[in-house]
Amino acid sequence: MHTYAPLVLLALFGLSPLAGAKDKKPAAPKQFEFASEDGLKITADLYAPHKSLKTPFIVLCHQAGWSRGEYREIVPKLNALGFNCMAIDQRSGGGVNGVTNETVARAKKAKKQTTFVDARQDIVAALKYARKHHARGKLVAWGSSYSSALVLQVVGSEPKLADAVLSFAPGEYFTRFGKPATWVRDAAKGLKHPVFITSAKNEKPQWAAIFAAIPKGKKVAYVPQTKGNHGSRALWERFDDHKGYWEAVSAFLKKHK
């Protein structure tokens, strides 16, 4: 497994992951809607302080039971690293950090299914929308928990949708929805992109086979020495070990920017 000491890489790339992130006023998100593959309206927050369409762009997908609010604290630091971002509400979720998932409400009103698998089309649509409207440079797919597995499955199956993937706590979460036990792993074989995978320390067995299936080359794994946390919330400042995650993420993004 390709792992690394984040501080060493940061020195090599001349990057301080949090430098300037607290010194700048966070960009206020622009809330908007776009259509999913089946026409359902998806709510998203756009954080685009960098005006050039060639600025690298990240599509951020939340974990189960949550919303685009998962990224309210995270995005300003990604902006400070030189990325524009879009955080979406998938149709499988709820709310977090005071932000309600509006896509879920629409899906239920329209009597649409809201399982993890049903949210796949929302991620596909978000990547297509970002590519068409915001990303003339590198486009990054970022997922948390169930959506971290979906971004691997989506981009592995349709490589042109993104240029890199960050996956926070993936696993084969979809057998209860009728998918094979190796659904994500099988798609991961098609990932020729830079891929970053991380999780809580005890979650590594859930994604080890997926990581092994990704072709050698540009894949990176970060496993904390501490207990760690599940999903993208591992980057939240309330957790004592968040800096280790940020160092690893920042080094990866800088290298493939």
Question: What structural domains and CATH numbers belong to the chain?
Answer: 6-255 (3.40.50.1820)
What distance in Å separates the CA atoms of residue 45 and residue 119, rounded to the nearest whole number? Answer: 17
User: Would you give the distance in Å from CA 22 to the centre of its chain?
Assistant: 22
| pLDDT tens across the length of the chain (257 residues) | 444 444 333 333 334 444 444 445 665 799 999 999 999 999 999 999 999 999 999 999 999 999 999 999 999 999 999 999 999 999 999 999 999 999 999 999 999 999 999 999 999 999 999 999 999 999 999 999 999 999 999 999 999 999 999 999 999 999 999 999 999 999 999 999 999 999 999 999 999 999 999 999 899 999 999 999 999 999 999 999 999 999 999 999 999 98
Q: Quick one: pLDDT at residue 28?
A: 77
Tell me the HSE value of 41 on the side-chain side, using a 13 A CA sphere.
Answer: 9
Please report, as a single letter, which amino acid is at residue 126: A
Q: Quick one: pLDDT at residue 257?
A: 84
Output the CA–CA distances (angstroms, integers) from residue 81 to 49, 54, 55, 254, in the order listed.
11, 15, 11, 8
What distance in Å separates the CA atoms of residue 162 and residue 160, rounded to the nearest whole number? Answer: 6
